[in-house]
Structure 1
């Protein structure tokens, strides 16, 4: 194993859902108000699904909380490097040796008990997509015609409960294997984002076209939709990873062997740029024609580029109108 990790790899490790990790390791996760706890240890508090604190050991420095890495260090007896590798593997980014081997729980409860996998069930659709249209069009600048297209293809819809936007990831036969949700009511500038329980992280939100040999890859579904809006591209294959790991890309390429070229349209921030460099090198080495296509300088992602372009156009139109008076 390598001794050092890139910042992008560490960011992926620290983006893993800590409640999913705890559940996978055999703990019973319960939501209480704005945090989660564990049935086996109710002094544990998991906040934002990313960090934890243990009140029963609040004075034990190094044993009382931290990140996902610290959780594996304390409760599985892992070294830091081993914990990072395990999290990368859990996210689908890397495969460690003996991938089916679970680390022993330092505080094992009910030895030998295997948690039952959650059943994958799509959220119930709302009677209409009113909030979906309002959010994607008014807040994210996506044209109604583009939204119409994705709805007509059965790729997005509005859920009945909470009115979240559901993004579906289908396999080559059109069977939904993955789904993520995005809230339309951001509170305190904190967006609600999560994957539907029980989904297969080997898949991502995608738009296939067996007649095209080109694939365009994004981090998020809204960036994918924004790209379609900017370039009116309804012809190429498109895939949103939902993360910086490439497990969904590996699956898509296996299911669509006609693809020979890949455009990586990842974010313009530091993690996105480092991931793009790694992925272009990897897939060039695998024989694909690759191209790194970040958003223009000054824009974080394709949606920010879309919104900025439309805003600039509106301003120019207003200036033109005033000059004619």
Structure 2
């Protein structure tokens, strides 16, 4: 039905082979259990507030306006990317790019919230988000797994230490997994959003009740700084800060580093509203089709508002973390 169907089948077969099972074995039951979680259950549990009503039986998301979900059929279609599927499993692998193995494991451990059949007749899901409230996951006693994971991905100890000490990064445990928690705060320093990322796979999701306009921010040392670099993901923002340490062209905290948690304009607007001294915006989005398209929109919007905007996708790799890993490899070879 959709272009990615053959690839999903191959991924499913690889998953079975990798775990040493057979299509009729217990791992098939794991896959079937994962497919039993609907898209609406997954979004209501892991991304509350993302849904936006289009018609009586259709929703889109705040992050992707061209992605249409039909709850009654448990289907989605992302028109701008010509990608579609059914069930939460297809949504995680196709839209969020979680690998098949991690998605199955995550959905098998997920306790989805019940979604009433009359949900299509409810008012806006945004009200559901407000009533749910926001609470940070319980922190572990240390950040050893998070530190090991992020340093393995090239993040410098200095950047890592700053984020932990600023309480915008910590470690939590969910089932058997250790997760990074990236925190978004308001201007008063109060946590308003959080994004979890597994240290042992590709599973990632927003904490329930998160307000997407509060992005992950590594602030400049000078609050009157005139430059902000904007990234899609927190790890990319930390990668950008690490790269600046390697370049030695200016102190690494001479700019703000803002992560959106996806292709989302809300954190950009909130940040600029509360930092009127900003004059230059550097867009450091992924070097893929969605990232390039979003950058083009933001360049036009911010240029019309009087900002100097520079579009700077990574010089190598898909995102800035891949670029950082590439640069570190070159440095190691030189040494």
TM-score, normalised relative to structure 2: 0.62
Distance (Å, rounded) in 2 between the aligned partners of 1:36 and 1:108: 19
**Contact residue 262 and residue 290 of structure 1 kept, 8 A:** yes
TM-score, normalised relative to structure 1: 0.64
Distance (Å, rounded) in 2 between the aligned partners of 1:111 and 1:268: 39
Alignment RMSD (CA, Å): 3.2
Q: 1:49 offset after TM fit, Å? A: 4.3
Q: Secondary structure at the match of 2:258?
A: strand
Q: 1:202 offset after TM fit, Å? A: 1.5
2:272 to 253, 268, 286: 253
Q: 1:274 offset after TM fit, Å? A: 1.5
CA change 1:72–1:279 in 2 (3 A) is farther
Distance (Å, rounded) in 2 between the aligned partners of 1:174 and 1:286: 27
Question: Does 2:180 match 1:165?
Answer: yes
Tell me which residue corresponds to 2:299: 280
Q: Deviations over 1:153-176 (max 9, x none)?
A: 111000143320000001111111
Tell me which residue corresponds to 1:238: 257
Distance (Å, rounded) in 2 between the aligned partners of 1:202 and 1:305: 27
**Contact residue 202 and residue 251 of structure 1 kept, 8 A:** yes
Q: Deviations over 1:135-169 (max 9, x none)?
A: 0012x111222211111111100014332000000
Q: Deviations over 1:45-101 (max 9, x none)?
A: 449948xxxxxxxxxxxx9xxx962416869xxxx99xxxxxxxxxxxxxxxxxxxx
Q: Secondary structure at the match of 1:168?
A: strand
1:306 to 304, 319, 324: 324
**Contact residue 126 and residue 163 of structure 1 kept, 8 A:** no
Question: Does 2:145 match 1:131?
Answer: yes
1:227 to 240, 247, 257: 240
Q: 1:237 offset after TM fit, Å? A: 1.7
Structure 2 gaps of 5+ residues are 1-31, 44-56, 58-65, 81-116, 246-251
Judging by fraction of residues, say which structure has more helix.
2
Distance (Å, rounded) in 2 between the aligned partners of 1:218 and 1:120: 24
**Contact residue 132 and residue 158 of structure 1 kept, 8 A:** yes
Q: Deviations over 1:162-197 (max 9, x none)?
A: 3200000011111111100000011xxxx0100000
**Contact residue 226 and residue 278 of structure 2 kept, 8 A:** yes
Distance (Å, rounded) in 2 between the aligned partners of 1:200 and 1:47: 19
Report the count of equivalent residues. Answer: 232
Of the two, which has the highest radius of gyration? 1
CA change 1:211–1:110 in 2 (3 A) is closer
Q: 1:207 offset after TM fit, Å? A: 2.1
Pairing of 1:306-325 with structure 2 (within 5 A): 306-317=324-335
Distance (Å, rounded) in 1 between the aligned partners of 2:121 and 2:296: 43
**Contact residue 215 and residue 259 of structure 1 kept, 8 A:** yes
Structure 1 gaps of 5+ residues are 1-31, 38-44, 51-62, 82-106, 318-325
Distance (Å, rounded) in 1 between the aligned partners of 2:278 and 2:317: 29
Distance (Å, rounded) in 2 between the aligned partners of 1:164 and 1:148: 17
Pairing of 1:73-152 with structure 2 (within 5 A): 108=118, 115=128, 117-138=131-152, 140-152=153-165
Q: 1:211 offset after TM fit, Å? A: 2.1
Distance (Å, rounded) in 1 between the aligned partners of 2:196 and 2:36: 19
Distance (Å, rounded) in 2 between the aligned partners of 1:290 and 1:262: 5
Distance (Å, rounded) in 1 between the aligned partners of 2:161 and 2:239: 13
Tell me which residue corresponds to 2:210: 199
Q: 1:313 offset after TM fit, Å? A: 1.9
Q: 1:309 offset after TM fit, Å? A: 0.8
